[in-house]
Chain A
Amino acid sequence: MNLSLKYKVLMIFMLLVFIGVFLYYYGAKVRQEEADAEALRDYSYIVREYALDAVYKSKENPVEVELYPSAYTEAILERWKAISDRYPEFEYPEAAIEEGDWFKVNRVIKDAEMLKDTVDKMYEDATVEFEGLKGSFTTLLDYIFYQKYEPSNIEDILIDLGFESPREEE
């Protein structure tokens, strides 16, 4: 079969177009899959952190996950709100919570400066003596999310300021 040069060039051109289109769509698909995987990892984090109930309707373009607060979420928010009531600069994102925008809620509490300032004020306002180092910005996160006292002296501070009930004597 003797093809003229014109046809040969045309065939090579067509082949290159075909490969180009294939690579373009393949690349777009890979990028979309990576974006979906990242979105699902973010949902997983937010579900775990805020003790949310979740319904995963779709995990591919578009990712569709419905989030609902559980009783544990309410407890987290109650601790957060109590601190915010006493220290208004410690923002409580009421509107974002009402909207169920948990990613927006999370961005508010991850303000390290706000956390640190509030912890410092709590140590200043407390009337109890404490031993050891003062808490850092993670101290409030540990308390609000997991009711964990790290360092342990924060428990006395929280009791003294009325956020937690006094310990029952054994």
Chain B
Amino acid sequence: MKKRITVIIVTVITLLTIVSYLIFQMLTDDQDIEEVIKQEFRSLGQYVENVYSIEYLDDDRVLIFYSWSYPEYSNLGVLELEKTWRGWQFVEAISNRIEIENAWLKGVYAEITDHVILRGTVTAAVEEIVLITDDGREYCPSVGKAERNMWYLILEDEPFEEATFILFDRNGEVIREEVLQFDLNS
């Protein structure tokens, strides 16, 4: 009798564990990342936000590039989320105040967890950017479009303090070259 009760209890607990795990999996798989991002903005108290890009580093890690603050969207943010058994969870966020008007190109150096991020605003006519560092390395930062244009680069090599940015329009014509300096201690 005692043995039978033990078997029943163990079976019920095992079944409950499996069912709970499957339900959690189902819920987290069905999670709408955009809805999660919105909730994160609300919890950070950051309103009137604009998402420029959602960059998946791998299946379980994502960086969201956005701006916030009415009316100028003058704070550029990066939010890092990680997918856990509880769904997408906050890891870290950064926010930088940046000039957004009267400039062809602006940029700032920042670090979030173990990533180095360069990002800034760029004038609306720009479709593509090529960046050449002072030691000759070449990168193509992504350009995200929302209320304004934002460029960003997730840097996996050594950081640099200065770079020339070549700005291209939609026809592939160079419209401007700008040199930006980055404060690596910021």
| Chain A window 30-59, contacts with chain B (Cβ cutoff 8 Å), 1 for yes, 0 for no | 000000010011111101100111111101
Number of residue pairs across A and B with beta carbons under 8 Å? Answer: 51
B75 within 8 A of A: yes
Which B67-116 residues have a C-beta within 8 angstroms of A?
69, 74-75, 90, 92-97, 99, 110, 112
Complex contacts, A22 vs chain B, CB 8 Å: none
A163 within 8 A of B: no
In the complex, which residue of chain A has the Cβ closest to the Cβ of B40? A59
| CB-based contact B96/A59 at 8 Å | no
User: Which residue from A37, A47, A72 sits with its C-beta under 8 Å from B95?
Assistant: A47
User: Which residue from A37, A52, A55 sits with its C-beta under 8 Å from B45?
Assistant: A37
Complex contacts, B46 vs chain A, CB 8 Å: 44
Bound complex: CA A73 to CA B94 (Å) = 17
Bound complex: CA A59 to CA B186 (Å) = 22
| CB-based contact A43/B45 at 8 Å | yes
| CB-based contact A53/B97 at 8 Å | yes
Complex contacts, A53 vs chain B, CB 8 Å: 94-97, 110, 186
B43 within 8 A of A: yes
A51 to chain B, nearest CB (A): 4
Complex contacts, A47 vs chain B, CB 8 Å: 75, 95, 97
For the complex with contacts A54-B94, A59-B43, A68-B186, 8 further pairs of A-B residues with Cβ separation under 8 Å are: A42-B45, A44-B45, A44-B46, A44-B47, A52-B97, A56-B93, A70-B97, A72-B99
Q: B residues near A, CB below 8 A?
A: 43-47, 69, 74-75, 90, 92-97, 99, 110, 112, 186
A-B contact list, 16 entries, CB within 8 Å: A37-B45, A41-B45, A44-B44, A44-B45, A47-B75, A51-B97, A53-B96, A54-B94, A55-B93, A55-B94, A56-B44, A56-B92, A56-B94, A59-B44, A71-B97, A73-B97
